[in-house]
Amino acid sequence: MSDHQHPAIPVLTDEEKRRRDARSRALGLLLGGLAILFFIVTIAKLGGNVFNRPI
C-alpha cells in the first residue's frame, strides 16, 4: 500500500479482483435478464391488447 492511499480503502489481491469481476458480471447478467423478463411478462400480460392502438 502506498502512502497516498487511504488506509480504509481495501487493497485487492488478484483473487479478490477476480471475484469482484465475477460478481460484477453476474450482477450485469442478472439485471439484463430481469429487464428482458419484465419486458416479456409485460407483453404477455397485455396479450392481444398490445396491438390495440391507433396506427
Partner 1 sequence: MSLATDTSLSDDRVEAAGRPLAAQGAPRDYYELLKPRVMQLVIFTALTGMLTAGPHINPIIGFASLLAIAVGAGASGCLNMWYDAKIDALMTRTAKRPIPSGAVTSGEALAFGLTLSVGSVLFLGLITNWAAAAFLAFTIFFYVVIYTMWLKHATPQNIVIGGAAGAFPPMIGYMAVTGGFNLATVLQFLIIFIWTPPHFWALAIVKADDYARAGVPMLPVVSGGVETRKQILIYSVLLAIVGGLPTFFGFASWVYLVVATVAGAAMIWFSYDLFQKREGDAARKAAYRLFGFSILYLFGLFAVLLIEELVPLMPWSLHL
In this structure, the dihedral spanned by the alpha carbons of residues 27, 28, 33 and 35, taken in order and rounded to 10 degrees, is: 110
Nearer to partner 1, 15 or 54 (CB): 15
50 binds partner 1 (CB under 8 A): no
Nearer to partner 1, 48 or 54 (CB): 48
Q: Which of 2, 3, 4, 9 binds partner 1 (CB under 8 A)?
A: 9
Gap between the Cα atoms of 51 and 13, Å rounded: 54
48 binds partner 1 (CB under 8 A): no
